[in-house]
Amino acid sequence: MKRRAQYAVVILGSALCVLAQTEPVADTIVQNAHVWTVDSTLPEVEAVAILGDRIVAVGSNQQVDAWRGPKTHVVDAAGKRLLPGFNDAHVHFTDGGAQLDSVELNDATSAQEFARRIRERAAKTAKGEWLLGGDWDETKWSPAELPTKEMIDAATPDVPVAVNRYDGHMVLANSLALKLAGITAQTANPPGGVIVRDGQGNPTGGLKDAAQDLLFKAVPQLTHDQRRHAIERALGHAASLGVTSVQHMNPEPADVAIYSELLEEGKLTTRIYAAPLITQVDDQLKIGIRRAFGGPYLRIGGVKAYADGSLGSATAYFFEPFSDQPGNRGLLSDEMHPISLMSDRMMRADAAGLQLCTHAIGDAGISAILDIYAEIEKEHGSRDRRWRIEHAQHMAAKDFDRFAQMHVIASVQPYHAIDDGRWAERRIGHDRASRTYAFRTFLDHGVRLALGTDWNVAPLNPMLTLYAATTRATLDGKNPNGWFPKQKLTIKEAIEAYTMGSAYAEFQENEKGSITSGKLADMVLLSDDVLTIDPVKIRDVKVLKTWVGGKLTYTAEAASK
- Contact pattern for Zn ion over residues 440 through 479, marking x by CB under 5 A: --------------x-------------------------
Any contact of residue 496 with Zn ion (CB under 5 A)? no
- Footprint of Zn ion on 273-332 (CB under 5 A): none
Min dist CB 157 to Zn ion, Å, is: 33
C-alpha–C-alpha distance, residues 102 and 100, integer Å: 6
Count interface residues toward Zn ion (CB under 5 A).
1
Q: Are 366 and 399 in contact (CB under 8 A)?
A: yes
Min dist CB 219 to Zn ion, Å, is: 19
Nearer to Zn ion, 399 or 454 (CB): 454
**For the chain, the helix, strand and coil percentages under 3-state DSSP, each to the nearest 5:** 35, 20, 40
Nearer to Zn ion, 277 or 339 (CB): 277
Nearer to Zn ion, 180 or 277 (CB): 277
C-alpha–C-alpha distance, residues 555 and 560, integer Å: 7
Min dist CB 426 to Zn ion, Å, is: 23
Nearer to Zn ion, 419 or 454 (CB): 454
Full strand arrangement of the beta sheet holding 193-197: 103-104, 131-136, 161-165, 170-173, 203-209, 193-197
Q: How far is CA 284 from CA 216, 218, 257, 278, 302, in A?
A: 25, 27, 14, 10, 9
Cβ-based neighbours of 317, under 8 Å, separated by 6 or more: 307, 308, 309, 329, 330, 331, 332, 361, 362, 364, 365, 368
Nearer to Zn ion, 172 or 458 (CB): 458
C-alpha–C-alpha distance, residues 45 and 37, integer Å: 7
Min dist CB 457 to Zn ion, Å, is: 6
- Contact pattern for Zn ion over residues 127 through 166, marking x by CB under 5 A: ----------------------------------------
Residue 74 exposed, middle or buried by CB count within 10 Å (0-12, 13-18, 19+): middle
Min dist CB 444 to Zn ion, Å, is: 26
Q: How far is CA 240 from CA 86, 109, 234, in A?
A: 12, 28, 10
> Which of 138, 129, 203, 143 has the alpha carbon at shortest distance from 173?
203
C-alpha–C-alpha distance, residues 503 and 520, integer Å: 12
Nearer to Zn ion, 342 or 515 (CB): 342
Nearer to Zn ion, 255 or 454 (CB): 454
Min dist CB 248 to Zn ion, Å, is: 10
Min dist CB 277 to Zn ion, Å, is: 12
Min dist CB 88 to Zn ion, Å, is: 11
Q: How far is CA 245 from CA 13, 150, 238, 490, 513, in A?
A: 31, 42, 9, 22, 10
- Contact pattern for Zn ion over residues 25 through 54, marking x by CB under 5 A: ------------------------------
One-letter-per-residue 3-state SS of 519-552: CECCEEEECCCCCCCCHHHHHHCCEEEEEECCEE
Nearer to Zn ion, 453 or 514 (CB): 453
User: Which residue type, as a one-letter code, is found at position 144?
Assistant: A
Give the torsion through C-alpha atoms of 143, 146, 150, 156, to 10 deg: 110
Nearer to Zn ion, 454 or 506 (CB): 454
Min dist CB 261 to Zn ion, Å, is: 24
Min dist CB 103 to Zn ion, Å, is: 21
Nearer to Zn ion, 66 or 277 (CB): 277
Nearest-CB residue to Zn ion? 454
- Positions that interact with Zn ion (CB under 5 A): 454
